[in-house]
Amino acid sequence: MERNIIKVEKVKKYFSELLVLNDVSLKIQRSNVVVICGPSGCGKSTLLKCINGLEGLNSGDIIINGKSILDKKNLRAIRLELGMVFQQFNLFPHKTVLENIILSPIINLGVNKDEAIVNGRKLLERVGILQKENKFPSSLSGGQQQRVAIARGLAMQPKIMMFDEPTSALDPEMIKEVLDVMIELAHDGMTMIVVTHEMGFAKEVADKIVMMDEGRIIEESIPNEFFGNPKKDRTKHFLSKILK
């Protein structure tokens, strides 16, 4: 079995004239946790959206578990293997917490409803929010909503989970409850790509930290090196700003 479950190969992405991803290449191994950081506008969120096909590529290729994103026929299969958690949670506001979680397994995986409910409750319990199963998302706190969003992603039994600044929209006291769920997930061996500025999280669970700037990957290293001995001045400058 191929070691690299994700291979990003020389990807270029433009938003009209603006080059947002400039020749980005990245390999991610199974069960690894990769943290991507960098200043806003550096292309890190766009990279995630390219990986699950929410944004198309201008050139290059992305191969997920042996399947190229360029082949439109693969798109759905790739998305079923990739869970995604967004900064703004993006729960479906017209569905209850439990419905949010079971809808996709029922429709997209053909799981029967009872089984989906049993599974959904297990996941809600795992993220510590079972008592809210019949509530609508709007009545939950940000941290609770984000945990539901993680459970919704996990309900699809993905091989990879992607997190796009999952704690950036949260009040400080809610960040921990979300990070705890993510840390547990990492320890369970999930392959994860996490765009975040939570450097404590990166230190604890990341196998690799990727620093992006102006659409390029400028540094890629293990946490000890990244924090202890960053190679690039840009990285040093960035770390000095966020680690205070």
Partner 1 sequence: MDYTFHFEVLETYWTWLAKGLWITVYISIISMFLALIIGLIISICRLSKIKILVIFSQSYIEIFRGIPLFVFIIWLYYGLAMVSGINFEPVTAGIICLSMQHGGYLAEIYRAGIQAVSRGQWEASFSLGFSIINTFARIIFPQAVKIIIPPTANMFIGLFKDSALVSIIGVNELMRQSQIATSLTFRPFEFYTVTAIIYIVLTLCLSQLAKFLELKMSNE
Binding site residues, partner 1, CB under 8 A: 49, 52-54, 76, 79-80, 82-84, 86, 88, 90-94, 103-104, 107-109, 149, 152-153, 156
Shortest reach from residue 45's CB to partner 1, in Å: 11
Q: Closest Cα to residue 147, out of 193, 80, 91, 82?
A: 91
Residue whose CB is less far from partner 1, 21 or 102: 102
> Which residue number, 76 or 241, has a Cβ lying nearer to partner 1?
76
Q: Name which of 79 and 213 has its Cβ closer to partner 1.
A: 79
Nearer to partner 1, 26 or 82 (CB): 82
* 190, 172 contact by CB (below 8 A): no
Q: Cβ(110)–Cβ(70) under 8 Å?
A: no
Q: At closest approach, how far in Å is the CB of 30 from partner 1?
A: 20
Cβ-Cβ contacts under 8 Å for 238 (sequence gap 6 or more): 37, 38, 39, 211, 213
Residue 234 CB, shortest distance to partner 1, in Å, is 29
Q: Exposure pattern of 22-51 as b/e (b: 16+ CB <10 Å)? A: bebebbbebebbbbbbbbeebbbbbbbebb
Q: How far is the CB of 99 from partner 1 (least distance, A)?
A: 10
In a 13 Å sphere around the CA of 208, the CA atoms on its Cβ side amount to 18
